[in-house]
């Protein structure tokens, strides 16, 4: 059982370049999330999805776009990378327990992105 | 705006010491608080706390929630070098999926 898989694990971009990060989960989870983690800032939510074909903005969405065309995949795009987007990016997925509204996140192993 | 504050930001101890990590929160429609351990890579789940006063335990780790004073503590007894990690606290609000707010974490270093 692979869980949550992120690709690539590392990437270096020049300012203005574009790229797409891929997140895939095999747990049939409805909810998927993209976070970024910067030193001393904890995890901040970029975008999230509550099901196939739906996406919504999180805390820090500017400069990013997402798509969830298939339930198992959640893509994060940077159209024109900026040095401020240098960060570690984590994808996560979760189930939803209807009776308690509780969720536990299952995280991918992260993508280290550097924008020069 | 929801807020989760962890203290201390970093902590250095020796093997065998006991440590207490703190997490305070101001969250609208609070439902639960979660603790994660993050070593080099992805955070791994430790505890989920929903009710006040009920201690959760897993080996040398334990945690408790105080919903009146809006805080939680994570205790680690007889620390080992393998406990070195960043410990993250996060709060869940009822409502939309996006309302899970993380603290900035406590960096714990356990020296041999």
User: What does the pLDDT average to over B24-44?
Assistant: 90
The correct answer on CATH 2.60.40.10 for the domain covering A4-115 is yes
Question: B5 with B103: CB under 8 angstroms?
Answer: yes
Give the CATH number, domain containing residue B77: 2.60.40.10
pLDDT top residue among B82 and A42: B82
Residue B91 pLDDT greater than 50, yes or no: yes
Domain that holds residue B13: 3-111
Confidence of residue A100 (pLDDT cuts 50, 70, 90): low
Please report which confidence band the pLDDT of residue A99 belongs to, taking 50, 70 and 90 as the band edges. Answer: very low
Residue A107 C-alpha, separation from nearest chain B C-alpha, in angstroms: 6
Probe site for chain B from A32, A101, A108, A111 (most B CB atoms < 10 A): A101
Does A103 sit within 8 Å of B97, measured CB to CB? yes
Over range A14-26, report the average pLDDT: 96
Query: Would you say residue A96 has pLDDT above 80?
Result: no
For residue B97, what pLDDT is reported?
62
Predicted confidence (pLDDT) at residue A101 exceeds the cutoff of 60: no
Q: Does A89 have pLDDT greater than 60?
A: yes
Highest mean pLDDT pick, A92-106, B18-32, B96-110: B18-32
CA gap A6, B95 in Å, rounded: 27
Residue with the two structure tokens 């992120």: A6
User: Mean pLDDT, to the nearest integer, of B19-30?
Assistant: 94
**Exposure class string for B61-94: b at 16+ Cβ within 10 A, else e:** bebbbeeeeebbbbebeebeeebbbbbbbbbbbe
CB contact under 8 A, A103 and B92: yes
Of A50, A58, A90, the CB nearest to B42: A90
pLDDT in tens, A21-72: 999 999 999 899 999 999 877 899 999 998 999 999 988 999 999 999 999 9
Measure in Å the smallest separation between the Cα of B4 and chain A Cα atoms: 10
CB contact under 8 A, A100 and B96: no
Taking all residues of chain B, what is their mean pLDDT, rounded to a whole number? 91
Mean pLDDT of the B17-23 span? 98
Name the residue ranges covered by the structural domains of chain A.
4-115
């Amino acid at each position: 059982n692979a869980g949550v898989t992120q690709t690539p694990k590392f990437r270096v971009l020049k300012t203005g370049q574009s790229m797409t990060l891929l997140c895939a989960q095999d747990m049939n989870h409805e909810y998927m999330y993209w976070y970024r983690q910067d030193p001393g800032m904890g995890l901040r939510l970029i975008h999230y999805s509550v099901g196939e074909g739906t996406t919504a903005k999180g805390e820090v969405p500017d400069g990013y776009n997402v798509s969830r065309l298939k339930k198992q995949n959640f893509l994060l795009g940077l159209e024109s990378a900026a040095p401020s987007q240098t960060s570690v990016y984590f994808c996560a997925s979760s189930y939803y327990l209807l009776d308690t509204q509780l969720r536990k996140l299952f995280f991918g192993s992260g993508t280290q992105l550097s924008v020069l | 705006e929801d807020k989760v504050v962890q203290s201390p930001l970093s902590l250095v101890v020796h093997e065998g010491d006991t440590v207490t990590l703190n997490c305070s929160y101001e969250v609208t429609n609070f439902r639960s608080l979660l603790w994660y351990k993050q070593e080099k890579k992805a955070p791994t789940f430790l505890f989920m706390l929903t009710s006040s006063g009920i201690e959760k335990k897993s080996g040398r780790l334990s945690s408790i929630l105080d919903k009146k004073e809006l805080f939680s503590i994570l205790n680690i007894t007889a620390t080992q070098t393998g406990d070195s990690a960043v410990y993250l606290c996060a709060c869940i609000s009822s409502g939309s999926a996006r309302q899970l707010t993380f603290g900035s974490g406590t960096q714990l270093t356990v020296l041999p």
